[in-house]
Amino acid sequence: MELNKSILLLLPLMCCSLISGIHAVPSLRLINTISEPPSAAPAPAPSSIDATATVANVVVTPSPPSAGLEELCKDADEPTLCVDTIAPFIKGALDPVVAVKVGMAATMNMTMKVSDTIKTLMASPGNGDYDQQALEICADQYSSIVDTINDCFESIRQNDIYGTWINFSSVLSYQQACEDSFREGGSPIPFKDDSKTLFLLGGNCLAILMHLSGY
């Protein structure tokens, strides 16, 4: 397994796993804080405003639904992509765990798209000058990505945010290993843009999971 970029991504995880126990309680509190609708924060002074005015205030100034999502995505490499990917699937108050699941589903969708591309290219070796050996390595890596994301759906269903974060980082390691197989073979990767998008979508999930883990 290549250790260049992957090791940079894994280093903070190795360090954090040493102190995970200490942070277990604060991270749960963080999740609760984030899931509170922002509109709950500024309560008008009851003595100076009557009930009708209070109701009117709430109606006139609805909190933007994207505010909590922007906070959740703020550590991502591509915060805008992170928000744009997830926002269409959030109805009502933001549940950060739902947000992660949407991000993971988006990553899975891109994984399936690349897997299909790899299958097509492998099935028609005469159609391109693509490195067949690199394609085979990538087919294995993408199969591992599918397994990893499925496992992560299960661990997040069990509310193990920290375990999901640690294990989800493998997605980027597999994605890098696929790119490296082409780099080492010296031929261009035929799904360069999708590979990059997968990297960014996976990175978004990691950033949110890190945030929810309290780091």
Ligand X SMILES: *[C@@H]1O[C@H](CO)[C@@H](O)[C@H](O)[C@H]1NC(C)=O
The binding site for ligand X (CB under 6 A) comprises 89, 102, 105-106, 109, 151, 155, 160, 163, 167
As given in the structure block, the two tokens for residue 189 are 């990767």
- Closest separation in Å from C-beta 91 to ligand X: 13
As given in the structure block, the two tokens for residue 99 are 């947000």
Cβ nearer to ligand X, comparing 140 with 160 = 160
Cβ nearer to ligand X, comparing 130 with 191 = 191
Give the C-alpha separation, 195 to 191, whole Å.
Answer: 6
- Closest separation in Å from C-beta 108 to ligand X: 7
Cβ nearer to ligand X, comparing 93 with 112 = 112
- Closest separation in Å from C-beta 112 to ligand X: 8
- Closest separation in Å from C-beta 171 to ligand X: 12
Give the C-alpha separation, 176 to 1, whole Å.
Answer: 10
Cβ nearer to ligand X, comparing 30 with 166 = 166
Percentages (nearest 5) of helix, strand, coil residues in the chain = 75, 0, 25
Cβ nearer to ligand X, comparing 68 with 103 = 103
Work out the angle between the directed axes of helices 96-123 and 20-35 (0-180°, nearest 10): 100
Other CB atoms within 10 A of residue 51 CB: 8
Give the C-alpha separation, 26 to 37, whole Å.
Answer: 19
- Closest separation in Å from C-beta 151 to ligand X: 5
